[in-house]
Chain A
Amino acid sequence: MSLAPEEQRSVARTHQIWGWIGLLLFAGFGMVLEILNGLKLGFYLDPEVHLRREMWRLGHVHGTLLSVVQLVFAFSVSQGWLASVDRTRLASFFFRGALVLLPGGFLLGGVNPSESDPWIGIWLVPVGAAFLLLALGLTVLEVVKSSE
């Protein structure tokens, strides 16, 4: 079933909102990391918590990039590059899921890391990665089909 114009606008708007809010949150988190660095706070900078630093940086980067991906997806939908309702809705679900799970997993992984591994919250990352791959796969499928 093809995506109706109202649905197109609705999906695009949803991802615009998610994208801009995501950018605000994750870019803002990046500023928080800068402040922690600037204040030389031990719980962020001590050698013993190197995994916390690494995980939170990864969370900030992935969250910011995935927020941009939301906006790109919104643009793609608004341009009519995705036609199928079902696959578009599915991709939308997985893109939003990825935005929550991937950077969320990194952030949780840095909450209480051990010396060798992040906290168990890191397990949300592969789930988020699977969601992202599914979303991208569905989008590629739609874009290829709509260009035919």
Chain B
Amino acid sequence: MGVMLVGAAVLLACLLAAVQLFRRLPRTTALIITSGLVGGLVGIPLLLLAALGTESNKRIDLEHVRYEQSRSCVKCHPDHYRTWKQTYHRTMTQNPLPDAIIGDFNDVRVEYLGHETRFFREGDRFFVESTDHEWERAVREETGVTPAQARRRVYSVDRLVGSHHQQVYLSLLDNGEYFILPFLWNRRDQKWLPMTTVFLSLEDGSVNLGYTTTWNQSCIFCHNTGPNPGMEVPGAGEAGIRWDVHLQEIGIACEACHGPAEAHIESNLNLIRRQYLIETGKRDPTIVNAKRMRKVNANQACGRCHGKWGPRPEHIREILTRGDKFIPGRKDLNEIYVMPLLGKREYDPARDADYFWPDGSPRATALEYQGTVLSPCTERGKMTCLSCHSMHDSDPDDQLKFPEDPTTPELERNEQCLQCHPQFRGNDALVAHTHHPVDSAASDCATCHMPFQTYGILSAHRAHRIQNPVPEVSARDSTPNGCNQCHVDKSLRWTADALAQWNPDRAKLIDHADLFAGERTELSETLLQLGRGHALSRAIAVQMLSDANGLEAAPGLWRVPFLIDALDDSYAVVRLNSLRSIRQMPGFENVVFDHFGPDSLRNQQIARIWDRWDVVWSEHASSLPKTIPLNANGRIKDDVRRQLRANRDNIVLNIME
């Protein structure tokens, strides 16, 4: 409509001008000027428009198009550039400039396993002095143990990974490998943490990370744009792989999601084309736009990285030597990559335990894609990642389209769900659905339908598999459910009974005698998992005990002794998260505990924390429900503790997220 009106106005102006020209000037002069006017203002745009018609829908093969980098996008997309710039995607990988460094390099020294690591700077350059990793690896390969006396080496910090929760530091070695330095800086705790203690895995006695992978062959792909590791396999008589890393742009930039932009920029220099696409709303085939893709492709645009896809064996060499050519929407990921997805296949703990619950739900971060595609909202509905998240115009913390507004009882975060489930909009509808007060945590859809089931980056995170709380699944697989993450003092049997009361049809499906017998009736499900669950269950449990929702639904200091007990866990992340939770408790804010210090030191510190607890308990002792197994002295009942530990799931987990 606008095109027609403006076009008519232009034609009218030209017509009036022509009339005046022919009226006032000699015919030849009038003709020349009129031709110039009409030709320039009407003819050329029409010609360009006609030419556009033949190419505007032509599909471009983006695989051979050049990357241009994000600064080329800002001229036409200043808003998208601005909103992208404030995200943590942009700073996923950075050069080591002073403004980008978040760690403390003021000559800090940290000791771990008897080895000291020093962090310092000289001017605008940053360094880490630590154990020589190559020497350490050689000794361990030969002797099987970490040497007591370390050989020292000064590493320059040449690249940074991350900036939101933590920052990892890389040093460029002679062969082109970006070596992962042995400590990362954690924002929340404001301290240096050994890399071998930040994953949900057992420490193996070494200062440096294991050598099964390097940044060049793993992290590079999802943390950058147009990554090419440039692996050079040694020829005959040569030793060692060399790397010639090239990135189209450092960090996750525009073209990581939108594809290479050269063709898009060139074709849109034509302003007629731009106006045509804007006015008609047609798709621009020269660039990728996940919002306009089918559900499958739209999810793969994010899922390539948030889904731990790995190349099929026949493509590994090509990807390592010539780079990752994936462009969202142009190929199905399955053509080149393999996605870890349990789906309907039989659960094999040996293969799947690190990343999946027995029902197929992911249990590590960077598997959000798998959770999403398993959700009924995606399987039976239209949900994609972009239904809830937006790279542009969202809070950088979680990039939700509709951010949480804590001042409203009906949390704005629910808009993510209410856009498709409007029947739950409004306080009355919400209360009728949740059976909870409108101002409780249960009014947040995510509390029940996206419980904390996954782990990564030193924290439990909400599941992306949207589901109903099913205590039977928790009973069978020990998968955390939303109810018991607020009601941390309640048993699973209690949860099942409550749900059956709200929905009598469910009661027929539940065999209480079988599924919810024994501990599932007698003990708090959270404490049960903390006692006998595997490391992941324990890590989630310690976090839930200090979560605001849990503190509101089940207040009290009764949780402290269970958290103190978890300080001697064999997994460093469980110890750290227990410490974090203890420090949330009144009177325990300043407890001292070095979660990666030597055993002797840790034991001393734990003893002091127990002493503190004994004092607090003597002042605040209270009667507790039976599901919380504390004795009169405020200590965990011996028989319960012994039984839980004896039945603990000691499966070795190695979640490298």
Q: Which residues of A approach B to under 8 Å, CB–CB?
A: 47-48, 50, 86-87, 89-90, 93-94, 97, 101, 108, 112, 114-117, 119-121, 123-124, 126-127, 130-131, 134
Contact = CB atoms under 8 A, between A and B. Distances in A.
A93 B30 CA distance: 14
What 6 pairs between A and B have smallest CB-CB spacing?
Answer: A116-B76, A86-B24, A90-B24, A93-B20, A114-B278, A48-B79
A87 B37 CA distance: 17
B275 A97 contact: no
A127 B275 contact: no
B76 A127 contact: no
Contacts of A120: 2-3, 6, 275, 278-279
B264 to A, nearest CB: 11
**Interface of chain A, helix or strand or loop or mixed?**
helix
Contacts of A123: 6-7, 10, 45
- Chain B CB within 10 Å — which of A48, A117, A123 has the most? A123
Contacts of B2: 112, 119-121
B271 A117 contact: yes
B291 interface: no
Nearest to B76: A116
B82 interface: yes
A127 B274 contact: no
Contacts of B37: 130
Contact of A127 (B10, B75, B268): B10
Contacts of B275: 117, 120
- Chain A CB within 10 Å — which of B13, B14, B75, B271 has the most? B13
Given A47-B79, A120-B3, A97 B16 contact: yes
Interface in B267-293: 268, 271, 274-275, 278-279
A117 B222 CA distance: 33
A90 B23 CA distance: 9
Nearest to A130: B37
B585 interface: no
A115 B79 contact: yes
B499 interface: no
Contact of A134 (B6, B33, B76): B33
A126 to B, nearest CB: 6
Contacts of B10: 123-124, 127
B651 interface: no
Contacts of A119: 2
22 contacts: A47-B78, A86-B23, A86-B24, A89-B20, A90-B24, A93-B16, A97-B17, A112-B2, A114-B278, A115-B80, A116-B76, A116-B77, A116-B274, A117-B274, A117-B278, A119-B2, A120-B2, A120-B3, A123-B10, A127-B13, A131-B17, A134-B17
Given A50-B79, A115-B79, A117-B278, 19 more contacts: A90-B24, A90-B25, A93-B17, A97-B17, A115-B78, A116-B77, A117-B76, A117-B271, A121-B2, A121-B6, A123-B6, A123-B10, A124-B6, A124-B10, A126-B40, A126-B41, A127-B10, A130-B41, A131-B17
Interface in B30-58: 33, 37, 40-41, 45
Given A97-B17, A121-B2, A124-B9, A115 B41 contact: no
B510 interface: no
A90 B76 CA distance: 39
Contacts of B41: 126-127, 130
Contact of B82 (A47, A90, A108): A47
Contacts of A90: 20-21, 24-25
A127 B79 contact: no
A101 B3 contact: no
A134 B9 CA distance: 19
A115 B279 contact: no
Contacts of B79: 47-48, 50, 115
Contacts of A93: 16-17, 20
A126 B7 CA distance: 13
A71 to B, nearest CB: 22
Contacts of B78: 47, 50, 115
A57 to B, nearest CB: 17
A120 B33 CA distance: 25
A114 B110 CA distance: 53
A116 to B, nearest CB: 4
A48 B279 CA distance: 18
B24 A89 contact: yes
A127 B21 CA distance: 15
A131 to B, nearest CB: 7
A116 B274 CA distance: 9
